[in-house]
Structure 1
Amino acid sequence: MITSNKNAIKWKDSFLSILLFLVVLLLYQFFSHQRHLINPADKLLPTFSQIIDAFNRSTFIPDRSGTYRLWEDSVASGRRIYISLIFIFAGILFGVYMGSFKILDKLFYKFFLFFDKIPALAILPILFIVFGLGEVSKIALIVIGVVPTIILDTYLKVKAFPQEQLVKAITMGSSKTQTIFKIILPKIFPMALDSVRLNFKAVILFLISGEALAATEGLGYRIFVVRRYMAMDSIISYVIWIGILSLLVDVAICFWLKKSYSWYNK
């Protein structure tokens, strides 16, 4: 009896988790069907078959240059994100140091607090002028848009760290560096990683913004290229692909946190 109740609750929870997805798909199918009854050549709301066909063309059929667009764009965007993440994780380490050393706190806190309030897109023209239209400006946009937030978030977590643990470590003879890497960072890192996970949408936003204005390949670049031809089937397929990739990153980070930091998930 208990087992059947648990199964019923499990099925109910599973149904509720996908209910809104089903509602959105049904509404889209309804309005798409209505528009195509009026105009079979309608491009605003392509049918599901048209979206799937656009995805297949960009994924499995090479273009005139012999490249598979979706894979080429995914690799280009992925490379930019990978390089940006190196700076983002460096920001976590800097935030730990800034929260641990008073001189760094006094020197950098207000600077990053002010810099974090400046919209990164507002300085995009400056980045293009200073760094040109190449890869550096796109990566710099992501770094400037996300790293200050990560640094401040990590800094606040360090400041909220239980002081009695630090006093105990220092009393037992630990140096400042040992205290940071053996006590503070292991406790702070999973929370900082969670912050990176929650800010990943901002990473994608700045990536698409940079690619849309100056790029020859990338997911954001392709979306704005096909926009000129009102190719909504390709746009929607790319948007769904970006969502899937972002979700996979989120799931991977959550899985790693669960396996490596079970105490944090509890």
Structure 2
Amino acid sequence: MDPNNVDLYTAFGLDPGDDTDSLRLLLNGRDAQLETQGVLPDHPQRQQLQTAYAVLGQEHTRREYDTAILQRRPLSWEDVRYLGNFGALPQVDPFTAHPQAAAPAGPINFNRGQPYAPSYPQSVPFPAVHSDRGSAGVRLAMVLIDGIILGIAAGIVGGVVGFSEALAYIGSFLVMVVYMLGFETKTGGTPAKHLLGYEVRDVKTGAKPSLEQSAKRSWWRLVTIVPGLGGLVSLVGMIAIGSSIKPENNYLGSHDRWSGTEVVKKQS
């Protein structure tokens, strides 16, 4: 790519005909995928992805960028980063061939959810990613509601096969598997998520999670099949997952990142 004539659409294989929401979802999904692969936030690949997100993920910055492209204005990485930071392209210096840019060459040092402090006049926070994702509190409420429903269902199963403790245990586990994995893969969420107006979807495609993705999301429930130790591992896993759902990682829990999914508000 010519560093003095940056085409974000070509650089990242994007379709200029896609709407801004689709581009935002796609770019954020790619960045989340790199994060799950252990790529650090200061890696050039992630920094440039986040720059593209800052420009193409908002209507007004994308509109200004597209206008500049149509006008055949040459844009350097400094110009694109400036647009992502300040919401406008730098003014063209009439005595030079290119717009003024105060930042040194190289990829932008964005960390999602964290303020960026470049060598510009001020520090501008990176735009929030997916504010429609469920917070830790909302997710906890979903777990509690699902737990109540599952408890009732397990009690019914236990009553039906009450003559055998082992069968009741296995039956309750199967009810949980069908409940969690079945509802997520077929309807996009458990009853608790639907009740609170949320859904689970693939972070890259926006589709309902696959069976594998749903199983990865619910690993801490599935381990309860192991007698004794499974319950302890499940409890520790639930606490660890809950504490990993934070604003600084855009409300993507460890199980979300592992499965490549997200919990977001349903689209009207």
TM-score, with structure 2 as normaliser: 0.25
Q: Which has the higher helix share?
A: 1
Asked which structure has the greater RCO (Cα within 8 Å, sep 6+), the reply is 1
TM-score, with structure 1 as normaliser: 0.25
